[in-house]
Amino acid sequence: MNNMYEEFGRWISILYRQFQIYINNELKDLGITSAEYIYLIKLYENKELTQENLAEIYYIDKAAITRSIKSLEDKGYIMRIKNERDKRSYRIQVTEKALKTKHRIYDALKSWDDLISLDVSDEELKMVSHIIRTMSLKALNRD
């Protein structure tokens, strides 16, 4: 096997897992998990989104999104608003409670970004991000 790819995959996995551990720990007292905070981020940026919008942003399957959205709703962080025209469809918005925790989530993310980027320039970050995106798009279009 090509050792270059094995190393690459290993470091991607390590970075991913370490971040999951970090963010779960940082948001534990808020009751928000690593699987859930990502939706809040997008709902802070956009007044209102549908589940379909979130699926398109993160490429996460419908069942998993439904689970996370339900959990966030149960904990009072989001509200689902029924669509008048299509009763099976919902619009999702953050609640006051979620707005109050916004700075906590952003601070945690900022601390992480500062930490991992200590020896990485903006130029390098941009380039890495572009290449990872190229790889991801290939992965997503594999059918």
Q: Which two tokens stand for residue 110?
A: 């900022």
Q: Which two tokens stand for residue 65?
A: 């999104």
CB of 97 to its own copies, least distance (A): 19
Q: Which two tokens stand for residue 23?
A: 């963010």
CB of 84 to its own copies, least distance (A): 32
The Cα 53–Cα 57 span in angstroms is 6
Binding track, positions 72-111, relative to its own copies; x by CB under 8 A: ----------------------------------x--xx-
- The 8-class DSSP code of residue 93 comes to E
Which of these ranges, 51-59, 71-79, 84-92, 93-101, lies near its own copies under the rule CB under 8 A? 51-59
The Cα 88–Cα 92 span in angstroms is 13
Which of these ranges, 54-62, 68-76, 78-86, 88-96, lies near its own copies under the rule CB under 8 A? 54-62
- Of the pair 84, 119, the CB lying nearest its own copies is at 119
**Is 70:109 a contact under the CB 8 Å cutoff?**
no
- Of the pair 60, 79, the CB lying nearest its own copies is at 60
